[in-house]
Amino acid sequence: MDLEKNQIIGQFATIYKNVGYPYTSGLILGFIYVSGQKYFTFQELMEQLNLSKSSTSKFLNFLLEIGDISFITKDEKRKRYFYISPEGFVKSQYMWVQSLSELKKIMKKILSFRNDENPYLNTLIEKEIAYLTDIIPFLTKKNDEHFLKLIQKEETNN
């Protein structure tokens, strides 16, 4: 793999790490996204990313558990072929927006508990609630616009 693709995969992994993913999981996802190939065996991922067997297994299992990747088996063999899961991706987008909705409810409750001793923090909480009030409907609308059609198209192709 060329230097530019390796740099992009590393940057991708760092971004995913910054939002709570293990770095190696981000490497695996970045590699699959960068590649033109749809399916990857365990061995291919391990070799292409220069990972140990245990590390590859651990982080593939993490990605499977959260739904970002899935796998198929071919030729009635036990060999698994991993791929980006469109359904998992869309589900995580909706879950993220749902988490923001829950955060907004909690922040409203927190604000109701507070006194006037720290008006700066109260204002910050109020601004966060207002911000979440603005972006949640927007993100929900954009999820519907962009991802539902993609999922429906993918389901039709399978």
pLDDT in tens, 108-135: 999 999 999 999 999 999 999 999 999 9
Show Cβ contacts of residue 140 under 8 Å, excluding neighbours closer than 6 positions.
97
Please choose, from the candidates 45, 52, 40, 35, the residue with its C-alpha nearest in 3D space to the C-alpha of residue 1.
35
Q: Are 26 and 62 in contact (CB under 8 A)?
A: no
Confidence of residue 36 (pLDDT cuts 50, 70, 90): confident
pTM of the model: 0.78
Tokens coding 49: 């990313």
Distance between CA atoms of residues 145 and 61, nearest Å: 30
The C-alpha angle with vertex 66 and arms to 64 and 71, in degrees rounded to 5, equals 25
Domains in the chain: boundaries = 3-84, 86-157
Class at the top of the CATH hierarchy for domain 3-84: mainly alpha
Q: Are strands 69-73 and 80-84 parallel, antiparallel or unpaired?
A: antiparallel
